[in-house]
Amino acid sequence: GEDVEQSLFLSVREGDSSVINCTYTDSSSTYLYWYKQEPGAGLQLLTYIFSNMDMKQDQRLTVLLNKKDKHLSLRIADTQTGDSAIYFCAEKGGDTGRRALTFGSGTRLQVQP
């Protein structure tokens, strides 16, 4: 079945850029998403990109999509301590029989002051 993979952990210093990577296997993916989960909270939708785009920028967030390599990344510029959280990558397949998103296991971002 479809799979989404992420590295488990990333540590950066405050003010640096963070890059969280994700790979997926479904070549028919239509939309790809980034969610953020803070401790004790639900997942918060950060941004998403349609599969015919290769980049999307939203304030400090930049999403890059390499559809050929099935690679998605989230860059956070000027990372702050408040960005410390778990970041989930998710994809929605083009197969109309698949209704829900497939989530990765999450990348824990630790921002050191």
Partner 1 sequence: DARVTQTPRDKVTEMGQEVTMRCQPILGHNTVFWYRQTMMQGLELLAYFRNRAPLDDSGMPKDRFSAEMPDATLATLKIQPSEPRDSAVYFCASGLVVSGTGENSEQYFGPGTRLTVT
Binding test (CB under 8 A) with partner 1, winner from 27, 80, 105, 110: 105
Choice between 13 and 50, CB closer to partner 1: 50
DSSP-derived secondary structure letter, 78: S
DSSP string computed for 4-35: EEE-SEEEEETTS-EEEEEEE--TT--EEEEE
Find all residues with CB under 8 Å of 4, minimum gap 6, and list them: 22, 23, 24, 25, 89, 90, 91, 102, 103, 104
Is 103 near partner 1 (CB under 8 A)?
yes
If one asks whether residue 41 binds partner 1 (CB under 8 A), the answer comes out as: yes
Task: Closer to partner 1 by CB, 30 or 112: give it.
Answer: 30
Write out the residues near partner 1 by the rule CB under 8 A: 30-31, 33, 35, 41-45, 48, 50, 88, 92, 94, 96, 99-101, 103, 105-106
